[in-house]
Structure 1
Amino acid sequence: MSRIAFLDFEASSLGKKSYPIEVAWVFDDGSSEATLIRPAPGWTDWASDAEAIHGIPRDLLLSEGQPHDVVARRMIACLTGHTLYASAPSWDGQWLSRLLRAADLPRHALRLQDTDDAQRRVVIETCRAAGLSPGQQNSILNEVLAGAARDGQADGPPAHRALADARQEYERWRAIRHATETAVRALASELPGGP
């Protein structure tokens, strides 16, 4: 299985001129990184209602944020070669692209996929590794993802801070992997000659 990471941005607003103000990622081993992003020149969009949600004042970005180009280069250095997942890949992809372009880096140097894909993939790969038939794989996939959807409703809404939200996606993926392993063991024990 290739290395993966769960990524999340917070942004200045949800408007057309919005830009990333915080980014975080969590690797599949649980290690993580997060940073505030100092706005690039010309990034002036700001929505007070967005600030009320994420709780990051613009002054904090100016005083403690890392320069946008430093953050972009750090992301390229850390994340190139990884499969990257985000819970809102269209929004997060827009902010990633804006960050990379502002740093004069190729806007498609990093690409995001939907975390739903990571969840499905870990179930299927775990089932295939156990030698399960396609029918058995689909049965476990449906069972595990239905359980994860119920558990996800109990998790509550996102925290709207990049690291907390990326970690929540990572923890959900880990729980799905664990549930799949448990389901595979249970199925194996029911089969003739099973443990």
Structure 2
Amino acid sequence: MMISFLDIEASSLRNGYPIEIAWCNADVTAGRSWLIRPGGWPPHLAWDDDAERIHGLTIGRLEAEGLPPDTVAEALADDLTTAEVVLSDNPPFDHGWLVELYGLGSGTRSVPFQLEEADAVAVDDRRRLAAAGVDPVSRTLAADAGLVPHRALDDCIRHAVTLCVARDEELDTIKWKARRLLAEHGRDR
């Protein structure tokens, strides 16, 4: 089964718009990340300095490096056409950001995939994790791989790393794949 993880960072925790979106597959061999240019969002959507402190992305960086929302919407839809399951750690919030992205970026087009709760899938794997005390291992592995909390690609990789650990994949291999995927997106340590 082709499983992908998706994560979105936003301009505000309420009444915001998506500013970064990423996905990676469950075995950490592929993924992409995009910054989204802030112009063009409806005026009732806001920028929040508290959210900026959480994700560390500035309006200036998004204006300089971000892509237009419609470009990101099209690329994301193309990338996830083969995913059988798209997992999110917070489907209601992420779906709301996707509605904003596809509503602005593609007219009235609907979100082209369904999000499922990351914790609801692979329940047996997560039970094995808890029984074996592996969650601290996956957190340490994520830190060793250079993952930054509240960055979209890093959060996707963190979920995939947890699943890889639960499935007894070799730790150095997981770490190497996570670092390689980050490096592909200009995030060398």
TM interval, short-chain normalised: 0.7 to 0.9
Aligned partner of 1:178 among 168, 172, 178: 168
Contact 1:118–1:173 (CA under 8 A) maintained in structure 2? no
Contact 1:7–1:84 (CA under 8 A) maintained in structure 2? yes
* Structure 1: gaps of 5 or more residues: 124-140, 180-195
Query: What is the deviation of 1:91?
Result: 1.2
Aligned partner of 2:89 among 79, 87, 90: 87
- How many residue pairs end up in the alignment? 159
The residue that corresponds to 1:126 in the other structure is none
**Match of 2:164, as an amino acid?**
R
* Structure 2: gaps of 5 or more residues: 170-189
User: How far apart in 2 are the matches of 1:91 and 1:147?
Assistant: 31
Query: For residues 42 and 142 of structure 1, do their structure 2 counterparts lie closer, same or farther at Cα, with a shift above 3 Å needed?
Result: closer
Where do residues 72-111 of structure 1 align in structure 2 (5 Å cutoff)? 72-82=73-83, 83-103=85-105, 104=107, 106-111=109-114
**Match of 2:36, as an amino acid?**
I
Aligned pair 1:147/2:146, yes or no? Answer: no
Query: Structure 1 residues 142-151 or 67-76, which shifts more?
Result: 142-151
Aligned partner of 1:119 among 100, 117, 122: 122
**Match of 1:24, as an amino acid?**
A
Aligned partner of 1:19 among 17, 25, 40: 17
Where do residues 27-38 of structure 1 align in structure 2 (5 Å cutoff)? 27-30=25-28, 31-38=30-37
User: How far apart in 1 are the matches of 2:81 and 2:25?
Assistant: 12
Normalising by the residue count of structure 1, what TM-score does the alignment of the two structures yield? 0.72
Contact 1:10–1:21 (CA under 8 A) maintained in structure 2? yes
The residue that corresponds to 2:179 in the other structure is none
* Larger helix percent: 1
User: How far apart in 2 are the matches of 1:149 and 1:18?
Assistant: 35
The residue that corresponds to 1:45 in the other structure is 46
**Match of 1:25, as an amino acid?**
W
Query: For residues 92 and 59 of structure 1, do their structure 2 counterparts lie closer, same or farther at Cα, with a shift above 3 Å needed?
Result: same
- What percentage of aligned pairs have identical amino acids? 31
Superposed CA RMSD in Å reads: 2.5
Q: State the 4+ residue runs in structure 1 displaced beyond 3 angstroms.
A: 141-150, 152-158
**Match of 1:164, as an amino acid?**
D
Contact 2:17–2:41 (CA under 8 A) maintained in structure 1? no
**Match of 2:132, as an amino acid?**
G
User: How far apart in 1 are the matches of 2:89 and 2:80?
Assistant: 17
Normalising by the residue count of structure 2, what TM-score does the alignment of the two structures yield? 0.74
Query: What is the deviation of 1:145?
Result: 3.9
